[in-house]
Amino acid sequence: DVKVTQSSRYLVKRTGEKVFLECVQDMDHENMFWYRQDPGLGLRLIYFSYDVKMKEKGDIPEGYSVSREKKERFSLILESASTNQTSMYLCASRRYSGIIEQFFGPGTRLTVL
Amino acid sequence: GQNIDQPTEMTATEGAIVQINCTYQTSGFNGLFWYQQHAGEAPTFLSYNVLDGLEEKGRFSSFLSRSKGYSYLLLKELQMKDSASYLCAVRYNYGQNFVFGPGTRLSVLP
């Protein structure tokens, strides 16, 4: 079974703090994604990566950055957390081609006070 | 933008059939996915449609009409465990990312 894990299920941070969210997948997938999920807005893509050290902006990249130093690991960074970044963050991965089913991690519920 | 529309909430009775609709913009369409998401959990893949017609998988079926920009997820013999949000997602222009709809929260009542 594909497994996508995220470093924390729940996280509470203060405004202005630098926040790291980590995601690891164990199926050698090329593509990895970071979404945030908010009520009524659905899943919105923040950033994605299709290879090591490669990254592409999604729909809402402002206030976020990412890092992919190894194929299995994709990190989301909030440079200076703000209250409007309180959300559920979901990581996902899938192969570049062939079966394009996307596998999600369990999510990190981030609260910024 | 590439808006995807779904009803926000639906309610149905255990044992019944429910149809969850999804409409999307057709330009650049390259596949539609349905995911199930229980409260507090990750979305899990249910179905994939890229050609017109019905795909059946047990109690769940998904239909696609590319010309109409329309899909539905049909759930038969509803069970309490089917209470969840159902997410419609579309892949556009052979891109690597999907566009997700807002999700439909389904409540199954006894």
pLDDT in tens, B17-34: 999 999 999 988 989 999
Task: List the pLDDT tens digit at each of the 113 positions of chain A.
Answer: 668 999 999 999 999 999 999 999 998 999 999 999 998 888 999 999 999 999 999 989 999 999 999 999 999 999 999 999 999 999 999 887 665 788 999 999 999 99
**pLDDT score of A32:** 94
* Residues 11 through 30 of chain A touching chain B, CB cutoff 8 Å: none
Taking the Cβ of residue B44 and every Cβ of chain A, the question of whether any pair is shorter than 8 Å is answered with yes
Say how many CB pairs under 8 Å bridge A and B.
48
Distance (Å, whole) CA A4 – CA A31: 12
Asked if B87 and A42 come within 8 Å (Cβ–Cβ), the reply is yes
Of A31, A45, A104, the CB nearest to B42: A104
Q: How confident is the model at residue B93 (pLDDT cuts 50, 70, 90)?
A: confident
Q: Decide if pLDDT at B94 tops 90.
A: no
What distance in Å separates residue A56's CA from the closest CA in chain B? Answer: 10
* Residues 47 through 86 of chain A touching chain B, CB cutoff 8 Å: 48, 50, 56, 58
Q: Decide if pLDDT at B1 tops 70.
A: no
SS3 labels along chain B: CCCEECCCEEEEECCCCEEEEEEECCCCEEEEEEEEECCCCCCEEEEEECCCEEEEECCEEEEEECCCCEEEEEECCCCHHHCEEEEEEEEECCCCCEEECCCEEEEEEC
Give the mean pLDDT of B93-106: 84
* Contact residues, chain B, for A90 at CB < 8 Å: 42-43
Taking the Cβ of residue A98 and every Cβ of chain B, the question of whether any pair is shorter than 8 Å is answered with no
